[in-house]
Amino acid sequence: MNEMVKERWELVSQRIREIPGEKAAPELYREYFDSIACFLYQVGQIAAEEEPGRGLSLELLQKRCDSLYGDILPGQYDHSYGNPVWAAACFGREMGQMLCFLYAQLRGSIPLAYEKRWGELTALFELFVEIYTDFTDEEPPKPEHVRQTLYWYYYDYCKDMVERRVREQVDPSISFATDIVMNSDLTDFSYLYRYGEYITENEIRTAEYLRAMSDKEIEAMARTYTQGYREGFVHAGIDLSKKRTVNIRYAIGFERMIRAAIRQFASMGLKPTIFRSAVHAVSKSQNGRIGYVGTQANPQYDYDHRMDDALFLDEDFVCRKLRATREAYERVKDLARGHAGPACLETFGEKIFVPEPKKACLQYTDAQQKLSARCRNELGQITNRYIPGDERSFTIIAYPVQEIGSRYEEIFAETVKVNNLDSRLYQRIQQRMIDCLDQGVAVKVKGANGNRTDLRVALHALRNPSKETIFENCVADVNIPVGEVFTSPMLAGTEGLLHVKQVYLNGLPYKNLEMSFTDGQIMSYTCTNFETEEENRAYIKENVLYNHDTLPLGEFAIGTNTTAYRMGREYHIEGRLPILIAEKTGPHFAVGDTCYSWAEDVAVYNPDGKEIIARDNEISLLRKEDPSKAYLNCHTDITIPYDELALLAVILPDGRETAIIREGRFVLPGTEALNEPLDKK
């Protein structure tokens, strides 16, 4: 904190302490401002502590955590000013939206206080005081006046917010989370509360479970994760020795494994960059929470505020954000060039969240939908310019949390086994499949047991079958666990209906999801989540199409991990498996970019030495003329489980068919071993 910020902080803190009880705002708004002032005072007290929470018992730490997040927890949310419906009931729809937005943004002060980001914290407190002052005038301000105040705050501070977000992706000296992981006593669970995130039994039980494991077991779990990352570079032919940083993303509670992983990455010459999921509306992603995370205090609260940037999203703001992003990357271009990409540890098992759509929420206009999609596209291009896609890689692994049920420890142990299946066995079986697929011109997929899928997926033509292949033999490097062969299909000739009775995508459930394709492009879509077709289509457009009018079929894959499928069925958790595992439990179809997005020109080879030539489709090829037309910056996998599959067959040039899966079982010679886990269920 420099002297200028210190002076501002002291002034704004004093002013906030004076607000409760002074009765300067109209009675209608008094409770709103008084309650927020009390909340901000508590946040300021935490920021002033040398090490927030140090010396407090676990019981007191949890009480503090509950007091910070209590207002948005499900039991209290109906009467929270963070709930757009309640805010609209109190203040009217327009003013309710403005004050609900402000409330949500002020909640972002919690992590700022724990990280002691004094400049940002001071500016946020000043925003609150400015708006409060407007309400102490003789006439309360109009909603548009409040919106303008909020707009210009985000417009003015956009550059600082963007620069911080860009820098923390690539600069290991921003080490708040790294210090917690590496320097805490991980046997004392008070460290969990040092992040400033919401802490539940998920985090505590995870830390307890890992504490009980031996050093050897922890090292082995970390090795699966870090070696998968390293092998991704080997597989893609990228020189990892030129890289200096790796972005580690994880769920709080896994620190013991992450500490081991940081040390293993260090042996590869990589330092960690670790940042929390975004707190500012400027930086939040439609792709979910990106960074390290705690359990969501209330998924409905996050869903209600998913489009808060609608308040300030216009052409001028997008231009400013894009310019700020370019300038931020330019300032850290050397760090960016040495960045290797993300290593992600995800969790699964959280209770399935079924969102309630609310008309009181801030929502994009049609123009803003297009603007948002364009902004995402151009941000992706800027990132790729400084961290080229053909010079980076990634890895993803997933583990359950205790919320998955009473058999948590069994499921965790089973997941560890699934993550460490014999890659060599799968490599051999999957090669049999690929040898068959390489002979075809298309793949036919038909559903069963109420699944109405009827699709024809067109395949690339091989010019030199002795040296080329269409499908990648995925053997658990970047994408753990093992178990799929995948390709980028041709769009022309890809036709038909994709239907899944129930699926969980990007944290949200879908019932009877249907998409029809013509020449590989989505022509229509629906589901049965809500009462009206309008609500169902809007839900899909926002959360699967990410506000694009259509998306291409960017990937077709055949999942082969029948062990993971059996685990899901045995423990009745198939609906709660992450896409990372679920995509291996049947054929899956990804809408959006191909798997080789931004790296199509990098030659990739299967273990048999053949080059995978199906890295492009008719959309991604447009990058040679205009990258803005080639990339959609989204990729969502939709899996048909084996029990909903009547037939998956290769269509040969003469029209004959060779079945790979029939009635949910692998029937291609050489793949029968995959049925053994199915027989055990």
Q: pLDDT digits over 432-444, tens only?
A: 999 999 999 999 9
Phi, psi of 314 (to 5 degrees): -145, 180
Nearest Cα residue to 217 out of 413, 418, 477: 413
Confidence (pLDDT) at 575: 85
Confidence (pLDDT) at 681: 55
Confidence (pLDDT) at 177: 98
Q: Is the pLDDT of residue 292 over 60?
A: yes
Mean pLDDT, range 282-294, rounded to an integer: 86
What kind and span of H or E run contains 35?
helix 27-48
Q: How far is CA 511 from CA 393, 503, 555, in A?
A: 33, 7, 22
Poorest-confidence range of 188-197, 432-441, 578-587? 578-587
For residues 552 and 494, is the Cβ–Cβ distance under 8 A? no
Q: Is the pLDDT of residue 463 over 90?
A: yes
Band of pLDDT at residue 659, cut at 50, 70 and 90: very high
Write the burial class of residue 43 (CB in 10 Å: 0-12 exposed, 13-18 middle, 19+ buried): buried
Q: Is the pLDDT of residue 578 over 70?
A: yes
Q: Which amino acid is at 13?
A: S
Q: pLDDT digits over 369-381, tens only?
A: 999 999 999 999 9
Q: Please state, in angstroms and rounded to a whole number, the distance separating the CA atoms of residues 334 and 243.
A: 11
Three-state DSSP at 332 gives coil
Confidence (pLDDT) at 284: 86
Q: How far is CA 224 from CA 237, 407, 477, 478, 520, in A?
A: 20, 24, 9, 10, 36
Q: Please state, in angstroms and rounded to a whole number, the distance separating the CA atoms of residues 416 and 220.
A: 10
Confidence (pLDDT) at 475: 81
Confidence (pLDDT) at 533: 96
Confidence (pLDDT) at 288: 77
Mean pLDDT, range 28-41, rounded to an integer: 97
Q: Is the pLDDT of residue 347 over 80?
A: yes
Q: Please give the share of the chain, as a percent, with pLDDT higher than 70.
A: 99
Confidence (pLDDT) at 478: 81
Which of 185-194, 373-382, 629-638: highest mean pLDDT?
185-194
Q: Is the pLDDT of residue 307 over 60?
A: yes
Q: Please state, in angstroms and rounded to a whole number, the distance separating the CA atoms of residues 185 and 191.
A: 7
Q: Is the pLDDT of residue 304 over 80?
A: yes
Buried/exposed code over 419-442 (b: 16+ C-beta within 10 A; e: otherwise): bbbebeebbebbbebbebbbebbb
Mean pLDDT score across all residues of the chain = 95
Q: Please state, in angstroms and rounded to a whole number, the distance separating the CA atoms of residues 121 and 111.
A: 9
Q: Please state, in angstroms and rounded to a whole number, the distance separating the CA atoms of residues 307 and 321.
A: 16
Band of pLDDT at residue 358, cut at 50, 70 and 90: very high
Q: Which residues contact 183 (CB under 8 A, 6 or more apart)?
A: none
Poorest-confidence range of 199-203, 244-248, 286-290? 286-290
Q: How far is CA 124 from CA 129, 356, 609, in A?
A: 9, 29, 56
CA atoms within 13 A on the CB side of 436: 22
Give alpha helix (H) positions in 631-681.
Answer: 676-680
Q: Please state, in angstroms and rounded to a whole number, the distance separating the CA atoms of residues 285 and 139.
A: 37
Three-state DSSP at 80 gives coil
Domain ranges of the chain: 3-141, 176-395, 422-680
Confidence (pLDDT) at 235: 85
Structure tokens at 300: 């409905």
SS3 content of the chain, % helix, strand, coil (to 5): 50, 15, 35
Max Cα–Cα distance, the chain, nearest Å: 84
Q: pLDDT digits over 68-95, tens only?
A: 999 999 999 999 999 999 999 999 999 9
Q: Please give the share of the chain, as a percent, with pLDDT higher than 90.
A: 91
Nearest Cα residue to 564 out of 416, 385, 382, 360: 416
Confidence (pLDDT) at 22: 92
Q: Are strands 508-518 and 521-526 parallel, antiparallel or unpaired?
A: antiparallel
For residues 414 and 399, is the Cβ–Cβ distance under 8 A? no
| Length of the chain in terms of residues written | 681
Q: Is the pLDDT of residue 109 over 80?
A: yes
pTM above 0.85, yes or no: yes
Q: Is the pLDDT of residue 227 over 90?
A: yes
Q: Are strands 454-458 and 442-447 parallel, antiparallel or unpaired?
A: antiparallel
